[in-house]
Amino acid sequence: MRNFEPIGIVSLGCPKNIVDSERILGLLIQDGFSVTFDADEARSVIINTCAFLESAREESEAVIKEFIEKKKGGKVAKVIVSGCYPSLVKEKLLEKFPEVDAITGTNNIGDVENALLGKGKVFVDSTVRSEEFARLQITLPHYEYLKIADGCNHKCAFCLIPKIKGPVHSFDVEFLISEAESLAANGVKELILIAQDTTQYGIDLYGKNSLLDLLKLLNRVEGIRWIRLLYTYPSEISDELIEYIASRDNKVVPYIDVPIQHISDFILKRMRRIGSKKDIELLIDKIKSHGIAVRTTVIVGFPGESEKEFKELVEFVKKAKFEHLGVFPFFREKGTESYSLDKQVDKKTKIERQHIIEKLQHDINVEKFSNMRGRQVDIIVDYFDEDANAFIGRTVYNAPEIDDFVVIDSDETIKEGNIYRAKVYDFDEEKLFAKVLRKL
């Protein structure tokens, strides 16, 4: 055992960071370190940062400052900053926060130990490593994120990810199957596949898009009941993938996350997105015609977006009636091509457009909930809410943390992590109410 134990971790940002944090913790425990889930009890703290947007970097800096103050007060011995922020700015982060003991990048999970042991201050490699790590799960016990790849080959004009994480690098299929089997053995029933772009999985290892091959192998893992797919790129979605998701003969749920970002050909071209308005329209129609729920995200106020282009987006959202939609005002990020584009849109207009899309999607959600009344759906129980005095869960059409939820009514004892057939009997503006019929 090391003298500076226990070690805590603060995980910021997206589910991909959660996986990295779990791998860091798994490696530490494997090598004899003790860890705590309460960072306030830790003597050494690892801050796994996000740097995708300025707001994320500001949050990361606020947490860094918080633990630097604790270090000055003697409550913390070491502060290690990991993840996306060090990968983006490297040594500049230490110049800004000299009290930090060391920094480690997204490709340096294996170096976190060295950082903790004082064997250096900067561990940030641009070279991708193929290391595979054990994991200590920090999500709810019945679902888990399976990060199948990292990095991205796309060159979207608004995105810093290629600068932070480099080109796409996939995890070996044998490792992913082994990890899925280990998670299932620990009680995980729902696997949620993530990457910067899951549809690029395997292109670097196997010379072709291998996502469908991976899904077919994961489908054989005993104990896994649901497989959910996030972060797909529109131009990479094949007819075969759609048909496989739609099939009821496998564990992949009828749900897909497809960030379209916009619908105007002019804006898509400026964003350096692959594909056209027509391509997106055909794709979404095809997916929805197969009974698959679609989550998407759009960006409003991108440079050059006039009332004409915004109206195109509004009309498309009305027509598509996405099951889930997130809308974000364009953030002008230094280091991206879009930062220096002409025809920047003012902040007031961006916020107004965001609210218009949000109101539109709210009305679509109410209509969607109304159409759900009386339907039988499969749900998974996530947790018991003491305030509501009821169990909270999700339908097969909802991902955890980002989508709608269900308040569950049952005459029998139900358990967290179990999957049930239920009948929707009511709704309000943000949730469904469902009665359990039977366990599945």
pLDDT tens per residue, range 155-214: 999 999 888 888 999 999 999 999 999 999 999 999 999 999 999 999 999 999 999 999
E strand or H helix at 78: strand 78-83
Q: List CB contacts of 121: < 8 A, sequence separation 6 or more.
A: 94, 101, 102, 103, 115
Axis crossing angle, helix 239-246 with helix 211-218, rounded to the nearest 10? 20
pLDDT at 5 (0 to 100): 76
> Which pair of structure tokens corresponds to residue 75?
């409550």
Each residue's pLDDT tens digit, 342-373: 999 999 999 999 999 999 999 999 999 999 99
pLDDT at 376 (0 to 100): 96
The C-alpha atoms of residue 318 and residue 325 are separated, in whole angstroms, by: 12
Provide mean pLDDT across the span 69-95: 93
pLDDT at 1 (0 to 100): 44
Axis crossing angle, helix 277-289 with helix 307-320, rounded to the nearest 10? 10
Q: Residue 107 burial (CB < 10 Å; 0-12/13-18/19+)?
A: buried
Site of tokens 């947490």 = 63
Question: Could you give the strand order of the β-sheet that contains 190-194, starting from the edge strand earlier in sequence?
Answer: 143-147, 190-194, 226-229, 252-257, 293-300, 324-329
With the CA atoms of 143, 148, 154 and 155 taken in that order, what torsion angle do they form, in degrees rounded to the nearest 10?
A: 70
CB atoms within 10 A of CB 412: 8
User: Taking the alpha carbons of 130, 198, 259, 153 in that order, is the dihedral positive or negative?
Assistant: positive
The C-alpha atoms of residue 310 and residue 132 are separated, in whole angstroms, by: 44
In this structure, are residues 304 and 260 in contact, taking their beta carbons and an 8 Å threshold? no
pLDDT at 107 (0 to 100): 86
In 84-138, where do the E strands start and end? 102-104, 122-123
Q: Residue 46 burial (CB < 10 Å; 0-12/13-18/19+)?
A: buried
Q: Is 404 a residue whose pLDDT tops 70?
A: yes
DSSP-derived pairing of the beta strands 252-257 and 226-229: parallel
pLDDT at 147 (0 to 100): 95
Each residue's pLDDT tens digit, 93-147: 999 999 999 999 988 888 999 999 999 999 998 776 666 777 888 889 999 999 9
First to last CA, the chain: 45
Domains along the sequence of the chain with CATH = 7-123 (3.40.50.12160), 143-370 (3.80.30.20), 373-439 (2.40.50.140)
Each residue's pLDDT tens digit, 254-281: 999 999 999 999 999 999 999 999 999 9
Q: Is 215 a residue whose pLDDT tops 90?
A: yes
Q: What is the DSSP letter of 54?
A: H
Torsions phi, psi for 355 (to 5 deg):
-65, -35
Q: Residues of 251-275 as b/e, b for ≥16 C-beta within 10 angstroms?
A: bbbbbbbbbbbbbbbbbbebbebeb
3-state secondary structure of 186: coil
In this structure, are residues 254 and 222 in contact, taking their beta carbons and an 8 Å threshold? no
